[in-house]
Amino acid sequence: MRSNLFDAANQERQTTDRWALQSNKLLRCSLTPDAPEIISASGAMVAYQGQMDFSYQGSGGGMKLLKKMATGEGGNMMRTRGQGEIFYARQADEIFLIQLEGEALTLNTKNMLAFDSSIQWDIKSLGGAGFMAGGLFNLFLQGQGMVAVTSDGPPMLLDCSQQPTFVDPQAAVCWSANLQPQIKNDFKMGSLIGRGSGESFQLGFHGPGFVVVQPSEGIQIPSSS
């Protein structure tokens, strides 16, 4: 049988790295019984080799459980343990890896692909304005381990320390956890009639840190007429 499908570029890349990109849209993770488990977005697994055990990632109880019930954030996560290799992807989005070494990161939950279970996580909201801007609840990650983040297109890194930076909430992928974004509304009420809220509200960032932006507002669900 002959086909360019069998070219070396399409074959699994052999590596000893625990986290490795097979391509810019496919992630390979190696699991062993003594390594941290992996927490991923539900449905992100596209293939695996070896023996894997999948389970629902619970909230851990307490306030985290209440936040999940109230917001729905963090509710669609899976925990994987086992021996072998597992592959993750989502909507053919681009994937990039972030190594946390004690730092913290705030992540749009729609852009979370997977992270080491050694990383502590919680659900954060943008204060009382969260629901007004479409339910802006995000995932706060802190500790030691790897995080895999998706971007709908090549991501752009913006430095927020030089001047105020404003980002569409649907385009914001992740940002420095020390930044406290504010909701900004540049439109008068009359101009919002008959329009979507994509550009009605922005997240305002200012201070030492960064925000990652994707060149897309993500998958848009059309409203029924």
List pLDDT tens digits, range 151-166. Answer: 999 999 999 999 999 9
Distance (Å, rounded) from C-alpha 175 to C-alpha 108?
Answer: 9
Q: pLDDT of 104-117, one tens digit each? A: 999 998 999 999 99
The single residue listed with the structure tokens 């430095």 is: 159
Torsional sign, CA 177, 38, 77, 57: negative
Q: Which residue has the higher pLDDT, 124 or 225?
A: 124
Which pLDDT score is estimated for 14? 82
| Dihedral Cα 141, 146, 150, 153, nearest 10 deg | 120
Angle value at C-alpha 156, between 112 and 174, nearest 5 degrees: 30
To the nearest whole number, what is the mean pLDDT of the chain? 83
